[in-house]
Amino acid sequence: MARGRAVARRSVAAPRCWRRVTLADLARTVHFRSTELKGLEPSLEATVHFTNAQPWTFTNGAHLAVVEIDVDSGRVRVLRYVAVDDCGRIVNPALVEGQIAGGIAQGLGGALMEHCAYDDAGQPLCGTLMDYAVPTAADVPPLELHHLETPAPSIAGGYKGAGEAGTTGAPAAILNAVNDALAPFGAAITDQPITPERVVNALRESGRG
């Protein structure tokens, strides 16, 4: 492939006598006149094998949550959520924002309400959305999303993932905010989801509930 054309390998060194065809003509021939390609398997696929010195990449970010806790009922309400993520080179900003916002909503659900419960026989007790709580739009505060763009050095295009950032950052940000709010009472929570019952129990165990 050279200069937008398919070029015979032996012709590359002699540009003036290239045996060449445009990519459009090549695609048209393969698709509509494949019988003319005698002795060839008509296909526009290519397979290349190579070893990458660093065959992975990951997203970096920082998430911050501000919460309010009703110490009588144990209810946790997220007042503010700020996220700064570095997803590498951003191609579609709206898509990236949607991925991160959706991941944060999922992370909030895991941190505050989603829980798979089973009875002594191993049967699920939350087989429907009547029993398994998931976050709604009313549970997600306005999100303040910011971006950095540090291209991944070993990935073509410098791209990184986006959707995982919110899901992994939110549970830790929420738990840290809750424990920061409970610290003056000498209480702390280590398990998720952070249900009102767990908050009330933590306050009682600290002698402040």
**pLDDT tens digits along 83-119:** 999 999 999 999 999 999 999 999 999 999 999 989 9
* Other residues' Cβ atoms within 10 Å of the Cβ of residue 66: 15
Is residue 55 included in any domain, yes or no?
no
107 and 177 share a domain?
A: yes
Is residue 30 included in any domain, yes or no?
yes
Rounded to whole angstroms, the Cα distance separating 5 from 18 reads 10
91 and 148 share a domain?
A: yes
As a whole number, the mean pLDDT across the chain is 87
Q: What is the mean pLDDT of residues 116-141?
A: 91
- Please name the helix (run of DSSP H) or strand (run of DSSP E) that holds residue 20, with its range, or none: strand 20-22
Residue 13 has what pLDDT? 53
- What lies within 8 Å, CB to CB, of 147 at 6+ separation is 84, 85, 86, 87, 90, 93, 96
Residue 9 has what pLDDT? 67
Is residue 4 included in any domain, yes or no?
yes
Q: What is the mean pLDDT of residues 11-38?
A: 72
Residue 29 has what pLDDT? 83
The residues annotated as belonging to the active site are 164
Q: How many residues does the chain have?
A: 209
Domain that holds residue 162: 60-205
**Nearest to 172, CA basis, from 156, 192, 155:** 192
Rounded to whole angstroms, the Cα distance separating 100 from 78 reads 17
Does the pLDDT at position 144 exceed 60?
A: yes
Is residue 54 included in any domain, yes or no?
no
Does the pLDDT at position 11 exceed 70?
A: no
DSSP 8-state code for residue 71: T
* Other residues' Cβ atoms within 10 Å of the Cβ of residue 28: 12
pLDDT band at 62 (very low <50, low <70, confident <90, very high): very high
Considering just the CA atoms, what is the radius of gyration of the chain in Å? 27
Kindly report which listed range (8-12, 20-24, 84-88) carries the lowest average pLDDT score.
8-12
Residue 46 has what pLDDT? 75
**pLDDT tens digits along 147-204:** 999 998 888 888 888 878 889 999 999 999 999 999 999 999 999 999 999 999 999 9
Rounded to whole angstroms, the Cα distance separating 205 from 209 reads 8
DSSP 8-state code for residue 101: H
Total domains in the fold of the chain = 2
Does the pLDDT at position 141 exceed 60?
A: yes
Percent residues over pLDDT 90 in the chain:
57
35 and 74 share a domain?
A: no
Reported in sequence order, the residue ranges of 38-134 that DSSP labels E, i.e. its strands, are: 60-69, 76-86
